Structure 1
Amino acid sequence: MTSPTTAPALPAPAAGSDDLDLLAAIEQRVLWLATAMIDHANRRPNASGLKVGGHQASSASMVSIMTALWFTRLRPEDRVSVKPHASPALHAVNHLLGDLDASYLTRLREFGGLQSYPSRTKDPDRVDYSTGSVGIGATAPIWGAVARRYVDDRTPVPAQRRGRQYSLVGDAELDEGAVWEAVLDPGTADLGEVVWIVDLNRQSLDRVVPNIAVSRLQRMFDAAGWQVLTVKYGGRLQRLFERPDGVLLEQRIDTMSNPEYQRLLRCGAEEIRERLPGGGASAPAIARLLAGVEDAELVAAVRDLGGHDLAALLDAFDRIDDTRPSVLFAYTVKGYGLASAGHPQNHSNLLSPEQLADLAARTGADPDDPWAAFAPGTPEAALCAAAAARLARPSAGTVAPPPVPADLGWSPQGRTSTQQALGRTLLDLTRSAPAVAERVVTVAPDVASSTNLGGWLNKAGTWSSTEKRNWFADDRETILHWTERPTGQHIELGIAEVNLVGLLGELGATWSRWGHPLFPIGVVYDPFVGRALEPWSFGMYAGGQSILVGTPSGVTLGFEGGAHQSITTPSIGLEQPGCVAFEPAFAVEVEWALLDGLSRLGRPDGSSTYLRLSTRGVDQGLADLPADPAARERRRRQVLAGGYRLRTAPGADVAIVAMGAMVTEALAAADRLAASGVPADVLVVTSADRLLRAHRARSGLDVAETWILDHLFDRPQGLVTVLDGHPHTLAFLAAENGGRGIRTLGVSGFGQSGDLPELYAVHGIDADAIVRAGLDLAEQGRRGGPDGTR
């Protein structure tokens, strides 16, 4: 990512009430509501008998942090990503702020109710970021900050409106590699609006983490240029440390293993006095110190970590440095305030009815009216109302994206690849549809030049918050120019596909976040689409609309070898919700598919697109592109609907159905079959995705137009399907051929380096393999029988 210039220091957050007693009362109500919501969800009638689940302990460890943040320091321009298992705490906060009706508190994890994890698109209350896939929600605000800055450079907004981007992160999420890919991206170090708060409860799903090595994590963030803050001990413990020999107690706790400390949380005062001094030379002095502490105070002090000390948290929030990203390690107790506090297996534990009743008594809740907010006229209600007024956001509004032309009129000649056509189409947009081109932002993980974005990059420039000098501008041998400026439209990241699709999702959500639609296009080597699949899919779930281009693809990569040859990506495109997949065969089809994808971006009913492209140069004359305008439009509609008839042979009982780079082999095989007395049609599939939807729609299983199937499969024929990918991608077409038999050719094994004739032959997708399959089907048809009955 091109490093943006450090933003002006943000003004200090408008502090809410720092009345700690009032905040503590709100904290207790949030704890009760979050816990009771999960309890109710698991005890309501459940016809299937399936476990409903929920995380009372994980929510409890975040309650103090969220209370301090929302009710005193958060501003309307700030955005917060909440760790997945704390969703009940978020809904409890929103309920007290008046943003969520009490009726929803009884509908956690219910169909049409509150989602299991925070969902920006499916929850009824304010959720800034969808989370649920561990690690992805943590990094999303980084890409949200970049997207916000990019939009700011096109719609100037005063710096103070930019706001902070908070991530409330579970400490176990720091095990995710995606987290460190984002933290270490060179541009992240300049994002001063990014703040992570780590809920450091030192527990995972199954156990206490024995060697979490917080100091190592702190050093890693520091080395990446982040401000590192720590809130470790609360006031009770701090006061004990100030007593005579208190430094020995502090050293003892500091050097204690995580499991040993967690065990203390399950102890009464007498057992704490036995265990806490340990067996070292300082044990007698620590024992004398503890002897002077009352039982109740001692039990409370052991649990008094900084992440539950409201005053310590507020002080830490006020020390955040907005000139660089910040991370706050807040030591917490998983299950704080619950009977299950600190237990190694409390992750999904539910309080018993007796324990819940005890919690209601301790928090001042009424079990007969469990969802009550604070009574009007009380100081707590006044503080909640003041916080709600402070956090009120003006609507971002909606701006309709510019209309996208359906056809730029390009009629490609000679030999070119679909990958080259991508760059050509982007350049044509700048001339033919400048209003559309202005909305385009391309993103690549250090592969812009090798995926043919060079011309676009030279034309559009690289985005940076300030203009920077291009020191190679006068070098005659330099053909790719990295001109960095605020008006640039390309963002180059490091080699991390997860980062790319994370940014792509946030750029694709600016229409709904900020009222400024963008047309984001990400380019990645196709074999690495699988590496980016989870965050890419999650970005679409969260409302991000974008175009992902996988190129180059398949064993058609040739000499690049098996490590770079994708096999399963065609079926990924087929199966991915919220996305339309295309694999064009000819250059003009790339243009049409790209324009179709752009036309569906930045709108409430929009969707994403996946383009699978090839480096193989193909004679564009083979496309037999109609010259007549009406005939050309007919072909364009067929391409976007999923396919077209490229060649129709009189009396053909066999049709070769080809995708992408394999059209050349399909045509060659059709010529050879004709010479053998077996006429064969050639059908080109441009979107197996849309054909499958049309096929399902015929049975009422989907909503799609079905006319394209009538065009392609207008009579029973034996089908030979062939693609540079897994053969099952087109196997569903067997249902469209009148029971005349099908042979599915494709790649089902790992490849190796080699020339195309060698590779196509070994995988059985060359013209010879197609001819053999066609002859088999023709013979089968002449014999008649189960697959060839006449």
Structure 2
Amino acid sequence: MTEAVQATDLDTLRALEQRVLWLSTAIVDHANRVRPNTTGLKVGGHQASSASITSIMTALWFEHLRPEDRVSVKPHASPVLHAIEYLLGLLDDADMTSLRAFGGLQSYPSRTKDPVPADYSTGSVGIGATAPIWGALSRRYVGGHFAAQPQGRQYSLVGDAELDEGACWEAILDPMVAGLGEIVWIVDFNRQSLDRVVPLLAADRMRALFTAAGWQVITVKYGAVLEELFTRPGGAALRDRIDTMTNAEYQRLLRHTPSKLRASLPDLDVSDDHLTEAFRSLGGHDHAALRQAFEAIDDSRPTVIIAYTVKGYGLPTAGHPQNHSALLTGAQFEELAVRSGMSASQPWQRFADGTAEHAVCLEAARRLRRPPVEGAQPPAVPTDLGRTPSGTATTQSALGRTLLDLNRAAPAVGARVVTVSPDVSSSTNLGGWVNKVGIWSTTEGVDWFADDAETILHWRERPTGQHIELGIAETNLVGLLGELGATWSRWGQPLLPIGVLYDPFVTRALEPWSFGIYAGGQSILVGTPSGVTLAPEGGAHQSITTPSIGVEQPGCTTWEPAFALDTEWCLLAALAQLGRPGGSSTYLRLSTRPVDQRLAAVPTDPAARERRRKQVVAGGYPLRRTNSPEAAIVAMGALVPEALDAAERLEGIGVNVDVICLTSPDLVFRAAQARRGSGDAPTWILDALFPTDLPLVTVLDGHPHTLAFLGGRAIHLGVTEFGQSGDLDSVYRAHGIDTDSIITAVLDVLG
């Protein structure tokens, strides 16, 4: 770590803090009470949540941060971040009036939408808090494989109520995290959530949990005024009284009049005003205590600073259990203006030239200025590796096979690939890839089973490894995936990250993965095995809604190939979209069903093969064409064999049908929307798939509404109920997606 910056005079820090409090409060006030609001909808904002962390953020930005550091700011403190950016000269007066306005300051810090990109996007509880952990791992991975990166700290500013989110503890407890000394969490311990005062005295439990996970724990409980009072006669009794009172009682006493507060505490020979000031003197608002805590950080392990604060500190709403979204009244805002030496009618003012505060702002702006990120271009990804699979194969096995072939055919691309898995590498057919590239670790590990002939998956841990194995926590997987997918913009080094998990658990991982895409992460999420095709596994492991999720997810392209070569082509196309401006993430849904690859009827002519590839990548291709077709079966993924079988049997009874192999309902839907004038996606694939207006029967191993946008006269088959264990024929028959059901549907749609 680099040397700490020059310490700032405490009075100057307090003046800076007061100005930040004023500006952050005024930002919310203007958005709600000044800016015209023709809709009447609540604009919102969090003055109290901002006030509780103003001291901490003032100390951090104006005294401790360095340009190589990164900070994840708790969502509701975005006005504080913008207030500091204003004082640093990064925002102007017009920006300050745009909180939650269209195109203005976002409601929560954003890497992609705020005028000053935040270090981390936050707003989804627990996800923004844990992002710096995965950012630290990504930085280390990039530094070890490509270009060394500045080794700054990764700060998370977290409200104590946010620690109720399980994603926080899943991340804290992952074995890889204990060695990340650059991680510093600062808990804004104000003991309030949205609706209530947190009922338990949770600090001791929190300290124990962090300590058990190998973290350094620093508690900043009392400020200097209260600590001094403890040294006076009766001070020990006062400390004991405060230490043992419940959170709710402490919050209630904050709202008492000075005389009533005195009656509730041990007798001390101090004035009412001094006692009132001392009772609110918590460590999270004391710059000397905060400075001491920052200086005590041990960079050899993760650190958590538990800073006791008052929600709404410095505002009339301080400590009230319903202050979370409360707005100051006009009179209260005027009173704050007077106390802050500001004007309610002209709220946007920086410090005057020549003042100590102005000098500190200039120095902080200079110190925190970062050089622009010069991004490396990702290598060109081949579109076709030249193999034509034969025999019987699964799309899941094609994933591992393609990665190995890619490594040989295009080593520059293979070197950028990093795979991530939550303890399912072997069961998702990544074993060959893992054996080839090794497990990533910051240090060389011992493979104790290297000489065991029965060991198939070799666990070679080394700094050059390209597979990262996490514990069984899908939230951690996609959190890391999002940060690995952001290295192109954050560190200037593009990676091609692929995360593999069981498809039924995509829904568990969906929210943090979606948030990672929102924050600019570009990655490939592979869900495998999928659907009720995983028949013997039973209903608990059979995904139903995931295909439609792929269609609905912004910033993402979804493919569900039927054959091994289709999988290769889709994966290569997905890799080509990563690590670049305007890139896109991908959701790839794969299956463990063995399929005869001859059914794909891959053209042998090079031009015809390339035509097929383009259609596969664009959304689908005609797999069976007939003369004078009466209908078409549109099948996706694992159910293509049933569709072909149904077509053959229908031909036997005199009904000619085409079979369309749909590889991406997402891209075909976009094309259909564009044809209607919504969006600008290419539409040629619709002509290739549906040259005439035929009645359709669609079928997939997932919810039928995924393809319900297709066709005027159509019947849509799919899975709408929970599954159960059984053989494939029985399970397909139970859900009405077997060959007989397809034939019946075709006859029904033809009347």
TM-score between the two structures when normalised by the length of structure 2: 0.99
Q: Distance in 2 between matches of 1:272 and 1:469?
A: 62
1:279 aligned partner:
none
Residue 234 of structure 2 corresponds to residue 241 of structure 1: no
Structural mapping, 1:162-561, within 5 Å:
162-276=151-265, 286-287=266-267, 289=268, 292-561=269-538
Amino acid at match of 1:528: F
Q: Distance in 1 between matches of 2:360 and 2:146?
A: 35
Q: Distance in 2 between matches of 1:563 and 1:165?
A: 38
How far is the alpha carbon of 1:776 from its aligned partner? 1.3
1:45 aligned partner:
36
Q: Is the 8 A contact 2:388 2:565 kept in 1?
A: yes
How far is the alpha carbon of 1:11 from its aligned partner? 4.0
Q: Distance in 1 between matches of 2:257 and 2:135?
A: 46
1:752 aligned partner:
724
1:529 counterpart SS class: helix
Amino acid at match of 1:745: L
Deviations 1:734-773, CA, capped at 9 Å, x for gaps: 2xxxx4x211100000001111000000000000000111
Residue 92 of structure 2 corresponds to residue 101 of structure 1: yes
Q: Distance in 2 between matches of 1:330 and 1:102?
A: 32
Q: Distance in 2 between matches of 1:525 and 1:155?
A: 31
Q: Is the 8 A contact 1:94 1:126 kept in 2?
A: no
Q: 2:624 aligns with which of 643, 647, 653?
A: 647
1:22 aligned partner:
12
Q: Bigger shift: 466-475 or 673-682?
A: 466-475
Q: Distance in 2 between matches of 1:509 and 1:101?
A: 28
2:108 aligned partner:
117
How far is the alpha carbon of 1:27 from its aligned partner? 0.3
Q: 2:664 aligns with which of 687, 693, 703?
A: 687
2:54 aligned partner:
63
Q: Is the 8 A contact 2:262 2:272 kept in 1?
A: no
Q: 1:605 aligns with which of 579, 582, 594?
A: 582
Amino acid at match of 2:724: Q
Q: Is the 8 A contact 1:648 1:680 kept in 2?
A: yes
Residue 63 of structure 2 corresponds to residue 86 of structure 1: no
1:132 aligned partner:
123
1:609 counterpart SS class: strand
Amino acid at match of 1:752: Q
Structural mapping, 1:619-634, within 5 Å:
619-634=596-611
Amino acid at match of 2:558: A
How far is the alpha carbon of 1:102 from its aligned partner? 2.2
1:581 counterpart SS class: strand
Amino acid at match of 1:143: W
Q: 1:664 aligns with which of 609, 633, 641?
A: 641
Q: Distance in 1 between matches of 2:706 and 2:147?
A: 47
Q: 2:738 aligns with which of 766, 771, 778?
A: 766
1:555 counterpart SS class: coil
Q: Distance in 1 between matches of 2:280 and 2:653?
A: 85
How far is the alpha carbon of 1:369 from its aligned partner? 2.5
Q: Is the 8 A contact 1:574 1:689 kept in 2?
A: yes
Q: Distance in 2 between matches of 1:352 and 1:513?
A: 41
Q: Distance in 2 between matches of 1:706 and 1:766?
A: 31
Task: Give the % identical residues.
Answer: 68
2:731 counterpart SS class: helix
Deviations 1:426-447, CA, capped at 9 Å, x for gaps: 0001110110000000000000
Q: Distance in 1 between matches of 2:76 and 2:290?
A: 21
Q: Distance in 2 between matches of 1:78 and 1:407?
A: 41
Structure 2 portions without partners, runs of 5+? none
Q: Is the 8 A contact 2:66 2:368 kept in 1?
A: yes
1:283 aligned partner:
none
Deviations 1:690-729, CA, capped at 9 Å, x for gaps: 0000000012211100011111111121111000000000
Residue 714 of structure 2 corresponds to residue 732 of structure 1: no
Q: Is the 8 A contact 1:559 1:754 kept in 2?
A: yes
Deviations 1:29-69, CA, capped at 9 Å, x for gaps: 00000000000000211111100000000000010000001
Residue 560 of structure 2 corresponds to residue 570 of structure 1: no
Q: Is the 8 A contact 1:197 1:327 kept in 2?
A: yes
How far is the alpha carbon of 1:239 from its aligned partner? 0.8
Q: Distance in 1 between matches of 2:358 and 2:169?
A: 41
Amino acid at match of 1:323: S
Residue 127 of structure 2 corresponds to residue 155 of structure 1: no
Amino acid at match of 2:209: M
Amino acid at match of 1:756: L
Q: Is the 8 A contact 1:585 1:659 kept in 2?
A: yes
Residue 675 of structure 2 corresponds to residue 698 of structure 1: yes
Q: Is the 8 A contact 2:201 2:246 kept in 1?
A: no
Amino acid at match of 1:237: L
Deviations 1:233-258, CA, capped at 9 Å, x for gaps: 11111011111121111000000001
Deviations 1:591-620, CA, capped at 9 Å, x for gaps: 111111110100011010000000001000
How far is the alpha carbon of 1:156 from its aligned partner? 4.6
Q: Is the 8 A contact 1:16 1:387 kept in 2?
A: no
Amino acid at match of 1:110: A
Deviations 1:613-636, CA, capped at 9 Å, x for gaps: 000010000000000010001001
Amino acid at match of 1:58: S
How far is the alpha carbon of 1:16 from its aligned partner? 3.2
Q: Distance in 2 between matches of 1:684 and 1:195?
A: 51
Q: Distance in 2 between matches of 1:32 and 1:165?
A: 27
Amino acid at match of 1:42: N
Q: Distance in 1 between matches of 2:183 and 2:80?
A: 22
Q: Is the 8 A contact 1:470 1:482 kept in 2?
A: yes
Q: 2:64 aligns with which of 49, 63, 73?
A: 73
Amino acid at match of 1:607: S
How far is the alpha carbon of 1:641 from its aligned partner? 1.0
TM-score between the two structures when normalised by the length of structure 1: 0.94
Amino acid at match of 1:234: G
Q: Distance in 2 between matches of 1:216 and 1:122?
A: 37
Q: Is the 8 A contact 1:17 1:383 kept in 2?
A: no
How far is the alpha carbon of 1:303 from its aligned partner? 0.9
1:280 aligned partner:
none
Cα RMSD over matched residues? Answer: 0.9
Q: Distance in 2 between matches of 1:563 and 1:28?
A: 55
Amino acid at match of 1:128: D
Q: Distance in 2 between matches of 1:361 and 1:231?
A: 30
Amino acid at match of 2:566: E
Structure 1 residues 16 and 126, CA gap change in structure 2 (3 angstroms): farther
Q: Is the 8 A contact 2:142 2:148 kept in 1?
A: no
Q: Is the 8 A contact 1:374 1:381 kept in 2?
A: yes
How far is the alpha carbon of 1:478 from its aligned partner? 1.1
Q: Is the 8 A contact 1:16 1:71 kept in 2?
A: no
1:62 counterpart SS class: helix
Q: Distance in 2 between matches of 1:421 and 1:687?
A: 17
Deviations 1:382-425, CA, capped at 9 Å, x for gaps: 01101111111111211110011111111010000000000000
Amino acid at match of 2:169: W
Structure 1 portions without partners, runs of 5+? 1-9, 277-285, 781-790
